[in-house]
Structure 1
Amino acid sequence: MKRRTIIAAVLIAAPSLAFGHATKIGEHGGRQTDAGAFHVEVVAKDKNLDVYMHDHSAKAVNAAGFKGVAIFKDVSGKPERIPLEPAGDNKLSGVAPASLPTELEGAVQITTQTGSSIQGKFMPQAMEHDHMDGHDQ
């Protein structure tokens, strides 16, 4: 009986252990990653970029007094620098010079109202899967 319980526990935990570092999808449908004490979610639509912030317990973080910059590749593969400003509640927004793909590749750097800086990186999902599988070594 104990052996079956142990096997069941391992089978239940295995998927979460294998995919613990996989990109998560945020509540606005964008990719989400860790950035310091926060989770950041990026959502691109044409040239518009929205960055949503939550703490690690999924509570929205007020973006008032925050600022940032995002550097993402546009649809042609050219890196674009996108200044970010507060846009209500837990959102920073900016406009890129060119259209952005829905699967973003790059990073956001955010400065909090206290002056501390955090960074979240986004790589193509295929590279994330290779990284998780150890194929990047």
Structure 2
Amino acid sequence: MNKLRAFILSFILLAFSSIAWSHTDQYFDSVVAPHGGQMRMAGPYHMEIIAKDKEIILYITDHANVEVSVDGGIGKATIENGETKTTVKLKPKGNNLFRAEGNFVVTQETKIMIFVKLPDQDAQAARFTPLKPIEKNKQIKNSDSHVDSHDQHSDHHEMDQHNDSHGGY
């Protein structure tokens, strides 16, 4: 009986360890984001940033890569270059898109902190290093396959959907 319990416990721990890994920055850096930017998770959202000198574009989707409306939302971005910090206002510009403009530059060392508040939702934050080089051999193409059952990240979402329809964990 103890061996059976140990086996079941091991199986559960192994199953949930892949779920925990699936939302790390390391995971998001390993996939090509839908718009070619850098992705991060923030609460119930995936955020993808495209940053260049004087402009930031931020896409918001849910965990299944479905666009989340940003109408009525507010946000800001803090751009850090060494000791220099610049804060710009993110403005809704389309269904799931925020945009900001300002007098800043983006380099490989630039860090950008995003804060977003959507109507009737908790505020969320994410930290980006959008031009940080990524080892290309570790990057896999994101084929909108969050619903692909062979994708480690999608397995987590299938489990979430199952648990949601059966009263949660």
The normalised TM-score by structure 1 is 0.68
Q: Percent identity?
A: 24
Query: Aligned partners of 1:115 and 1:37: how far apart in 2?
Result: 10
Pairing partner for 1:63 from 62, 70, 74? 70
Three-state SS of the structure 2 residue aligned to 1:116 is: coil
Q: Does the aligned pair in 2 maintain the 1:43–1:102 contact within 8 Å?
A: no
Pairing partner for 2:125 from 91, 103, 119? 119
- Is 1:51 the equivalent of 2:55? no
- Is 1:32 the equivalent of 2:39? yes
Query: Aligned partners of 2:109 and 2:56: how far apart in 1?
Result: 12
* Dislocated runs of 4+, deviation >6 Å: none
Structure 1: which 5+ runs fail to align? 1-15, 127-137
Q: Does the aligned pair in 2 maintain the 1:44–1:102 contact within 8 Å?
A: no
Structure 2: which 5+ runs fail to align? 1-17, 134-169
Q: Aligned-pair distance for 1:101?
A: 2.9
Q: How big is each residue's C-alpha offset from its partner over 1:64-113, in whole Å with a ceiling of 9 and x where there is no partner?
A: 11110011224x76221011010111100101222223674131000111
Q: Aligned-pair distance for 1:123?
A: 4.5
Query: Aligned partners of 1:73 and 1:118: how far apart in 2?
Result: 19
Query: How many residues are aligned here?
Result: 109
Three-state SS of the structure 1 residue aligned to 2:39 is: strand
Matching residue of 1:134: none
Aligned AA for 1:61?
A: V
Pairing partner for 2:115 from 109, 113, 117? 109
RMSD between superposed Cα atoms in Å:
2.6
